A = this chain, B = another copy of it.
Amino acid sequence: MSKAVAAPPSGRRGRDARRAERAKTSSVSIPYITRNIPLTELCHSEALDIIETNAETVLEEIGIEFRDDEETLTLFREAGADIDGTRVRFPRGLARKLIETAPAEFTQHGRNPKRNVQIGGDHLVFVPVYGPPFVRDLEGGRRYGTIEDFENFVKLAYMAPSIHHSGGTVCEPVDLPVNKRHYDMVYTHIKYSDKPFMGSVTHPQRARDTVDMCRILFGTDFIDDNTVCTSLINVNSPMTFDETMLGSLKVYAAANQATIVTPFIMQGAMAPVSVFGTLTQALAEAMAGLALTQLVRPGAPVVFGLFSAALSMQSGAPTFGTPEPTLVLSAAAQLARRLKLPFRSGGSLCASKIPDAQAAYESAHSLAPAVLCGVNFVLHGAGWLEGGLVSSYEKFVMDIDQLAMMEVLCRGYDTSENGQAMDAIREVGPGAHYLGCAHTQANFETAFYRSTVADNNSFEQWQTEGELRTVDRASKGCKEMLASYQPPPLDEAKDEELLAFIAEKKASFPDSNVA
């Protein structure tokens, strides 16, 4: 197969014109995706009933640990839970009942209102990689991340039309003191992007600092009524919330800011090795944390999150792109919908050390289920490498191409008269070809997604151009993006106020690298 046919219209001039046109259209960004295709639901509803029943048993019989936080225990006691030391047991149905006040979807505002995202319902928001201490690129190899790398990933996410959110810890800037780097991280999101972002969760005070910076940026009145920050609260699975995460959760919920309550599970270590066991425990954990947000502030926006990876029983490392996490993901998304809550999972996950075939297989088999199964907030949408230890520049550029394809997929079918193309079929008829027909001429510029990374040239041309690998093309694309970055305008008075706030805060206590 693979007969090459001439491209219409041909010639250098046509090619330059098309390239210019493409450059123009590819920068047209939509703020988020609204899906127009049915959901993939891999788990039958009777099976979901079993998980829900078992999760209630976990909540009632075993309970959840809420450590070193008297206020939380008091809130649960007053709501009718049974408190035994730091163990909270929930009468059947209580947690589910408490969650009812949470909104099914909410708007997270960006400082540019055109970038507001809708989280929940039929919507998808693609968010960059979160958390890696290392970065990697083709020339520099693997090294600790710095604030410069952090800025670069924020810039890339800002420029990528298929990324809807600036994310949070796009990499860990380890060149800054642990107890102060959050100021620079939040400021970088504000300064170098105008997309919505995530706040600091590594200490309740850092969550407060994030909210204070949001008050400066958006105004105090605005943020009390509106959500401008969505932050990640990981559960210490199994069945434990610690003081740090609880503190941050309460700060954000009290300020009407969104949290993503996320059981963080390596199956076989933090939860049972079985898919159903993992789902049961994760549902119980999530429901307990979600209920707490509503006790702190009924109606506070919240997202049901789940991060699950199968553990390699050989190396002890997490694995990705395998079938078990896909089964977990689909059922968890269904459980979240039954709770009428937005759902968050991972996007382009992989264990590979380099952005090669393994990385791509694993990432694709993580991203496709996330999109098809109806994840609303797709964290780690781009840049994730090596089980989340590395933010990769080239992988980021490869992944944003994949995310853009998912956006087209979610548009579904064009059933219009032009889409039906009956005139074209009549015009061409048997045995002829469609290259020159009116319908092709009118539609070929937009008919197919055009990859920004794939090489679709002939073998001979690819050979002439140096037999480049995908990673080589992505490296080139990444450098071009960063070279052409233009910052979005930021109100000067607000910028000064933010910088003054940070300077004052930073001067008020000594640097420390203790987490």
Contacts and interface: CB of A to CB of B under 8 A. Distances in A.
Report copies per complex.
2
B1 A419 contact: no
A500 interface: no
Nearest to A463: B353
Contacts of A246: none
Contact of A273 (B2, B280, B388, B447): B447
Interface string A157-178: 0000000000000000000000
Given A18-B314, A269-B435, A275 B413 contact: yes
Contacts of A319: 448, 451, 454, 456
A47 to B, nearest CB: 5
Nearest to A67: B431
A434 to B, nearest CB: 6
A321 to B, nearest CB: 8
A421 B282 CA distance: 13
A60 interface: no
A431 B65 contact: yes
Q: Chain B CB within 10 Å — which of A269, A326, A327, A448 has the most?
A: A448
A122 to B, nearest CB: 14
B357 A469 contact: yes
Contacts of A2: 317-318, 386-389
A62 B423 CA distance: 11
Contacts of A413: 42-44, 47, 275-276, 327, 331
A365 interface: yes
A54 interface: yes
Given A58-B425, A454-B358, A386 B38 contact: no
Contacts of A419: 274-277
Given A267-B447, A268-B434, A458-B315, A355 B353 contact: no
Given A269-B433, A455-B358, A316 B4 contact: yes
B457 A315 contact: yes
Interface string A349-360: 001111111111
Interface stretch (A219-227, A402-410, A482-490): A402-410
A38 B272 CA distance: 25
Interface stretch (A105-113, A193-201, A204-212, A236-244): A236-244
A311 interface: yes
A229 interface: no
Interface residues of A, number: 140
Interface string A262-287: 00101111111111110011000000
Interface stretch (A94-102, A292-300, A437-445): A437-445
A87 interface: yes
A248 to B, nearest CB: 17
A471 interface: yes
A356 B421 contact: no
Given A62-B430, A357-B360, A398-B361, A425 B277 contact: yes
Contact of A448 (B273, B365, B430, B445): B273
Contact of A360 (B238, B364, B430, B432): B364
A362 B451 CA distance: 11
A507 interface: no
A30 interface: no
Contacts of A453: 358
Contacts of A353: 455, 459, 462-463, 467
A116 B444 CA distance: 44
Given A310-B448, A322-B451, A353-B459, 15 more contacts: A1-B318, A7-B314, A40-B40, A42-B413, A54-B422, A268-B444, A271-B434, A272-B424, A272-B439, A313-B444, A319-B456, A323-B409, A331-B413, A356-B469, A361-B364
Interface of A: 1-8, 15, 18, 37-38, 40-44, 47, 50, 54, 57-58, 61-65, 87, 131, 142, 236, 238-240, 264, 266-277, 280-281, 307, 310-319, 321-324, 326-327, 331, 351-365, 368-369, 372, 386-389, 398, 402, 405-406, 408-409, 412-415, 418-422, 424-426, 428-435, 439-440, 443-445, 447-451, 453-459, 461-463, 467, 469-471, 474
10 contacts: A1-B388, A3-B266, A64-B430, A269-B434, A269-B435, A276-B421, A327-B413, A355-B357, A356-B356, A362-B454
